[in-house]
């Protein structure tokens, strides 16, 4: 018995030492974000416990405000998993079906898009023309979700018949956000707040709209211009919502990550759908398939988010109860490889 206790203690101490050594490695991997430069916030969660929870660099270079675990970043396409969750919640409540045609909710779309379903929009199988390619070349004013719908309503072409291939589609997720509004009778910001953020205690997370509630502890985006960091916080596509408009922090995203392990928000069936291969992806590194708001690579679930001045990623190893979240307010470097290298230091054989 004494030998067993001794073995357990030694094993525990070895695990603590390994985690401590891994945590030291993290700062070296995050060197690019340190100092008087646009920064990042980093969270490593293992078995529900934060092993690393740190801010690096600056959230606001003009005021020299440091990045912290409470800093809120524009999530960009990391937002898509929340839009997908909103659709799944409405399906659970019988407000819509995943097999509904998009035109049932958005009759403005042309008849040529009659066969596109909600399920196909969730998995990027709708074949919609990229709305970014439909914008005027001299567009400077920000476009809205209504503008995106108007552009797609006037575009009968598609890349492929719906359900026959994969092409990542921001426009598809804009349409999903509009479907949430029409099926629920609530604005998308209100629906997300009342049905996801508030129930999970994500008290500082919001879908930002101009003129709405301000983002607290806000990070501003920057881009490197010949060695000088220039604020590039907004672009003409920064006002669309369902495809990338959420602001959040690593602290709030820890609560989101916890909810993805049980049915406190989504049913077992809904989470299974979101995390299962719904559309095959070819020609993209570290992506085998796409679920609903998640990229899938073997046992790994992940998603990146990129908009002008922001680069983010969340990587989950659900079988090991390990998650790495790296949010940054800069255009470079791309954070996926850094987050992956950090996570690999905490994986158990």
The pLDDT tens digits for 272-310 are 999 999 999 999 999 999 999 999 999 999 999 999 999
The answer to whether the beta carbons of residues 46 and 63 sit under 8 Å apart is no
Alpha-carbon gap, residue 154 to 57, rounded angstroms: 45
Helix (H, G, I), strand (E, B) or coil at 22: helix
Is residue 106 scored above 80 in pLDDT? yes
- Residue 159's nearest CA partner among 121, 118, 125, 120 is 125
pLDDT tens digits along 18-58: 566 777 799 999 999 999 999 999 999 999 999 999 999 99
Q: How far is CA 280 from the centre of its chain?
A: 20
Q: Residue 19: what pLDDT?
A: 62
The answer to whether the beta carbons of residues 109 and 153 sit under 8 Å apart is yes
Under CATH, to which class is 37-344 assigned? alpha beta
Residue 211 tokens, joined: 């003129």
Alpha-carbon gap, residue 304 to 168, rounded angstroms: 12
Alpha-carbon gap, residue 181 to 207, rounded angstroms: 13
What pTM was estimated for this model as a whole? 0.94
């Amino acid at each position: 018995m004494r030998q067993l206790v001794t073995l357990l203690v030694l094993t525990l101490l070895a695990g603590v030492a390994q985690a401590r050594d891994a945590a030291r490695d993290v700062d070296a991997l995050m060197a690019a974000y340190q100092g008087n430069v646009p920064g990042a916030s980093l969270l490593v969660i293992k078995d529900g416990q934060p092993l690393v929870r740190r801010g690096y660099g600056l959230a606001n270079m003009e005021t020299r405000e440091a990045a912290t675990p409470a800093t809120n970043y524009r999530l960009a396409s990391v937002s898509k998993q929340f839009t997908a969750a909103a659709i799944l919640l409405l399906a659970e409540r019988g407000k819509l079906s995943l097999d509904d045609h998009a035109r049932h909710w958005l009759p403005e779309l042309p008849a040529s898009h009659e066969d596109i379903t909600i399920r196909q929009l969730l998995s990027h199988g709708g074949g919609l023309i990229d709305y970014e390619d439909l914008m005027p070349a001299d567009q400077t004013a920000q476009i809205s979700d209504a503008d995106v719908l108007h552009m797609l309503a006037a575009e009968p072409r598609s890349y492929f018949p719906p359900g026959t291939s994969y092409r990542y589609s921001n426009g598809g997720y804009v349409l999903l956000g509009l479907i949430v509004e029409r099926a629920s009778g609530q604005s998308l910001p209100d629906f997300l707040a009342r049905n996801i953020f508030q129930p999970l205690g994500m008290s500082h997370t919001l879908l930002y709209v101009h003129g709405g509630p301000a983002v607290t502890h806000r990070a501003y985006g920057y881009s490197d211009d010949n060695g000088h960091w220039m604020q590039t916080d907004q672009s003409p596509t920064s006002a669309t919502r369902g495809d990338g408009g959420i602001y959040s922090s690593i602290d709030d995203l820890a609560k989101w990550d916890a909810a993805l392990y049980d049915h406190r928000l989504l049913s077992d069936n809904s989470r299974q759908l979101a995390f299962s291969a719904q559309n095959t992806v070819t020609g993209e590194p570290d992506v085998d398939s796409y679920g609903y708001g998640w990229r899938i690579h073997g046992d790994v679930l992940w998603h990146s988010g990129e908009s002008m001045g922001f680069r983010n990623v969340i990587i989950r190893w659900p079988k090991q109860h390990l998650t790495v979240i790296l949010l940054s307010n800069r255009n470079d470097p791309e954070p996926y490889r850094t987050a992956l290298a950090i996570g690999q230091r905490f994986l158990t054989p």
